[in-house]
Amino acid sequence: MTNSIAEFETDSKVIFVIGSNTTACHPLIANRIIKAKENGARLIVADPRNIQLTKFADLAVHQRLGTDVALLNGMMHVIIRNDWHAAEYVEKRCEEFEALKKTVASYDPERVEAITGIAARDIEQMAELYATNAPGALLYAMGITQHTTGVDNVKSCCNLAMLCGNLGVPGGGVNPLRGQNNVQGACDMGGLPNVFTGYQPVADPEVREKFASAWNCGELSDTPGMTITDMISAIDEGKIKGLYVIGENPKLSDPDKNHLDHVLKKLDFLVVEDIFLTESAQVADVVFASAALGERQGTFTNTERRCMLTQKAVEPVGNALPDWQIISRFATALGHGMSYDSPEEVFNEMASLTKSYQGMTYDRIGIDGLQWPCLAKDHPGTPYLHKETFTRGKGMFHAIEFKEPAEAACAEYPMMMTTGRMFAHFHTGTMTRVSNSLDTEQKTGYVDINPADAEKLNIASGDMVLLTSRRGEIEAPAQITDSVPPNNVFLPIHFGENPTNTLTSSTAFDPIAKIPEFKVGAVKIEKLIA
Amino acid sequence: MNCKFVPSVCSYCGTGCGVLFEVIDGKINSTLPLKSHPVNQGKLCIKGWNLHEYINSFMRLKAPLVKEEGRFQKATWDEAINHAARNFNRIKEEHGPDSIGVLVSAKVTNEENYLAQKLARAALKTNNVDHCARL
């Protein structure tokens, strides 16, 4: 997030939520949005489904799956046509405005209505609400990113925010809501194929030299590595033979399960480190048993870049060990000695190599945490980014044309499918389905079907249906609800016995971010006769 | 009875709500919202209120496992780590460092992520490091 969660309540005059089911997936951020509404802020919600947050919105629209670029271009078209954009800000702080203007010129509301299914007058009103109530915060989640046009979608969000002068001000910003407690931290720590900590490129010889000397490990590889999406193909092609998976369950979280199951069998050696014997751990050659939250000390960085310290409350269960100890021992056995007395010692080594964290210490972080960049021991942290200038200097507009998603409804697969989370469960369900209080809320997978489709297919709530895509088929009980529009279905991703990732495609992904298009697919639905 | 409250942060979504674990006689008995926390100001969602339940689950892995002839056997840490390291070093020798991939985790701490990418880069000598942010 460029900005902070608290600012939505205290500073934002308009909040635009697109591709985030916030009340279900980030409830305490939704709480701030609702409070902002009570304080007089305006709320716009754009989501293909009729999510709970729409009840609180001044204006709620339902775009056809995968048409976000067209919608955002349409809003910018209306804003520029009416001179609602922040002309002085654009002139002073941005570049390539003319290219953007030229591209969005052809996205008049009538054309955008034809693409997105949103009425032209609603597009006009969305644009007016967002542009004429400053500052405005834009919030998004996986509904924006999990597309073949994920990068285009994010850039379009940034275009809109810059156009209205909403970056570098409290209560504004482009705010991706991270889905896992330490997605931000895992990225910050260099858990990516092309960068060390703090996004320092592996291709930069000076950076490599700095890490090689700090780690005392000889030369480091200068070739950016593979993303998870590329690794799966590389395993299939026999290029990757060994895989070390920490705290992750790819057998349920990665697309095209049948293909993935087949590919994982080709691995020579699989090591999985987890707190449960997940679907992925079951096929491992060695499983390392980890300590959980509360069983060891360490820091996590939340979606607003706030690094927070968690303390050890109890001893690890059985012989489980904290991951920092397992990794150190494994690295030592692999031939690179690692010896640390505490997580704090690891943190201090990391902070000494990472500019955005270099002002942080365990003492300073405390219970409330510190938001990076935190550049010195007396730096208070940074609630919002890009105050005076952007990281690259001027903010660059990207003129982006709308592209259709990879799959469209066809005679064989006539329904459109989208996937996501529901309120009581989390990701692949490994943590929530063993929790009695959460299991009680939802015990099995399901598929949301619109009443009109249910009538056509003669399906009642609770009937088992067979869902088939180009990849495979699964069974799930039907849930009849108008939270999905006609001809659309929604499937939650949490349930191993109804594995939604059997249906999703591993070949439809964003060419740059390599993120799979989990949000759009074509399926066929048939009622199963009991 | 020994009772204490230990500050932590919820491990579900990326919001990062501050919690207090209520620890009674060495076991986490409940999860409470941290009143003064800048993120959640004394509130939690249904998952947060039940955070301790997965930690206390009887399904937790309690020892490292090594697969022998298709079946998992409990192992000591030395056995499990040495077995894994022998096989990774063999693969590295036969096929080069880039024949191994490491998936770090959006669920473990910053310190652990830092060490995991250090293991990949310094010990295995590969940049094949990624995690589930895309998924």
- CATH label of the domain that carries residue A481: 2.40.40.20
Q: Are residues A112 and A194 in the same domain?
A: no
Is residue B20 less than 8 Å (CB to CB) from chain A? no
Residue B68 forms contact with A (CB below 8 Å): no
A387 belongs to a structural domain: no
Neighbours of A21 (CB within 10 A): 25
Q: What is the DSSP letter of A13?
A: S
**Yes or no, beta carbons of B110 and A347 under 8 Å apart:** yes
Q: Would you call B13 an interface residue with chain A, using a CB distance cutoff of 8 Å?
A: yes
User: In the prediction, which pLDDT does B133 show?
Assistant: 75
pLDDT score, position B1: 87
Last residue of a domain, one of A313, A343, A371: A371
Chain B, nearest residue to A237 by Cα: B99
| Same domain flag for A248 and A315 | yes
Residue stretches of chain A with pLDDT short of 50: none
Helices within A246-288 (DSSP H only): 250-253, 257-264, 279-282
Residue A367: per-residue pLDDT: 87
Beta bridge partners of A419: A491
Residues of A in contact with B7 (CB under 8 A): 309-311, 367
Longest Cα–Cα distance in chain A: 68
**Do the domain assignments include residue A143?**
yes
Position A352 in a domain: yes
Residue B6 half-sphere exposure toward CB, CA atoms < 13 A: 24
Cβ–Cβ below 8 Å for B91 and A223: no
How many residues in total does chain B contain?
A: 135
Q: Which domain holds residue A208?
A: 183-371
Same domain, residue pair A425 and A347: no
**Chain A interface disruption, residue of B114, B119, B126, most A CBs within 10 A:** B114
Structural domains in chain B? 3-55 (2.20.25.90), 62-95 (no CATH), 97-135 (no CATH)
Smallest Cβ–Cβ distance between A217 and the set B51, B98, B122 belongs to B122
In a domain, A398, yes or no: no
Of A29, A182, A320, the CB nearest to B110: A182
Do the Cβ atoms of B110 and A188 come within 8 Å? yes
Residue A20 CA to its chain's centroid (Å): 10
User: Do the beta carbons of residue B20 and residue B52 sit within 8 Å?
Assistant: no
pLDDT at A530: 62
> Residue A58: its pLDDT value, please?
98
B102 touches chain A (CB under 8 A): yes
What is the CATH number for A18?
A: 3.40.228.10
Whether omega before A373 lies within 30 degrees of 0, making that bond cis, reads yes
Is the separation of the CB atoms in A323 and A299 below 8 Å?
no
Alpha-carbon distance A317 to nearest alpha carbon in chain B (angstroms):
6
**Same structural domain, A438 and A359:** no
**Inter-chain contact B6–A217, Cβ cutoff 8 Å?**
no
Q: Looking at residue A230, which CATH number applies to its domain?
A: 3.40.50.740
Q: What is the DSSP letter of A56?
A: G
For an interface test with B, the pick among A177, A180, A223 (most B C-beta atoms closer than 10 Å) comes out as A180
In a domain, A101, yes or no: yes
Asked whether residue A406 is domain-assigned, the answer is: no
The half-sphere exposure of B94 on its side-chain side, counting CA atoms within 13 A, is 13
Q: What is the mean pLDDT of residues B63-74?
A: 97
Residues in a beta bridge with A396 = A95
Looking at the fold, whether A48 and A90 belong to one and the same domain comes out as yes
- List chain B residues with CB under 8 Å of A419: none
A326 touches A247 (CB < 8 A): no
pLDDT on residue A142: 96
Same domain, A356 and A438: no
Domain limit, last residue, from A177, A199, A219: A177
Chain A CA closest to residue B117: A191
Are B91 and A268 contacting, i.e. CB atoms less than 8 angstroms apart?
Answer: yes
Q: What is the pTM of this model?
A: 0.95
Amino acid at A355: K
From chain B, the residues in CB contact with A296 under 8 A are 109
Q: Which of B34, B55, B65 sits opposite A367 (nearest CB)?
A: B34
A380 inside domain: no
Block residue for tokens 């449960």: A276
Determine the residue of chain B that is closest to A425 in CA distance.
B47
Please indicate, yes or no, whether residues A131 and A158 belong to a single structural domain of this protein: yes
Q: Domain check: are A188 and A291 in the same one?
A: yes
Our count of domains for chain A comes to: 3
User: Confidence class of residue B134 from pLDDT cuts 50, 70 and 90?
Assistant: confident
- Same-domain status, A226 and A169: no
Does the pLDDT value for residue B9 go beyond 70?
yes
Q: Which residues contact A95 (CB under 8 A, 6 or more apart)?
A: A394, A395, A396, A397
Residue A402 is predicted with a pLDDT of 98
Minimal CA separation from A163 to chain B, in Å: 27
Residue of A307, A350, A361, A358 whose CA lies nearest to A185: A307
Residues A219 and A262 occupy one common structural domain: yes
